[in-house]
């Protein structure tokens, strides 16, 4: 179970901006897929059926990118819809890495075309080592400590992947195509 800090670290690794407003916006977009907890807690729906389904899918990422194209404020025009898509989808990927039982709690990444739950429990041993549940005070503190320890490596991994992708795009298609993920105006300078 990844907490907001890990999702925000991955999102911030995708930008080269130094603007705190852009950081805040991307961090909020990174945790947007977990709004499905409002359905679970607010309406009393079963968590196993509704959490990590439609809001963790590629379709949801595409929908949020289209919505961003329509409503983004002038102050945040530097954040491209493509970046919004990758930030939303990164949430699902991080959740897949921290899913112990993919069949029960995995991510329905290809919703509505498939209801198969996916997960790659790479981070699960760390979560299990830190404690059985984040839903107690001690458990929440332990998981928060783990998130702090994981945030920097996740940020560095994402930053390295973004830089490698940008270098590949520039070598194949020129600098103008690489601006899709990180436009020059996004630097905040």
The whole-model pTM stands at: 0.75
Do residues 14 and 26 touch, judged by C-beta distance below 8 A?
yes
Which has the higher per-residue pLDDT, 154 or 137? 154
Token pair, residue 183, equals 């436009």
What would the pLDDT profile of 51-70 be if each residue is shown by its tens digit?
A: 888 999 999 999 999 999 99
Q: Give the range among 17-26, 30-39, 92-101, 111-120 with minimum mean pLDDT.
A: 92-101
Confidence at 137, pLDDT banded by 50, 70, 90: low
pLDDT at 179: 47
Confidence at 135, pLDDT banded by 50, 70, 90: low
């Amino acid at each position: 179970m990844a907490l907001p800090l890990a999702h925000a670290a991955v999102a911030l690794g995708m930008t080269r901006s130094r603007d705190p407003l852009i950081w805040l916006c991307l961090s909020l977009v990174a945790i947007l897929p977990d709004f499905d907890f409002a359905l679970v807690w607010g309406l009393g729906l079963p968590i196993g059926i509704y959490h990590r389904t439609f809001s963790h899918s590629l379709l949801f990422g595409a929908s949020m990118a289209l919505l961003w194209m329509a409503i983004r404020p002038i102050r945040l025009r530097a954040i491209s819809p493509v970046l919004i898509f990758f930030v939303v989808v990164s949430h699902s990927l991080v959740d897949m890495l921290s899913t112990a039982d993919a069949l029960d709690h995995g991510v329905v990444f290809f919703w509505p075309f498939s209801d198969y739950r996916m997960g790659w429990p790479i981070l699960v041993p760390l979560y299990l080592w830190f404690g059985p549940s984040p839903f107690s005070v001690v458990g929440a503190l332990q998981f928060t400590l783990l998130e702090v320890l994981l945030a920097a490596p996740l940020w560095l991994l994402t930053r390295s992947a973004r830089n490698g992708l940008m270098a590949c795009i520039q070598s194949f298609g020129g600098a103008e195509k690489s601006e899709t993920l990180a436009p020059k105006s996004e630097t905040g300078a």
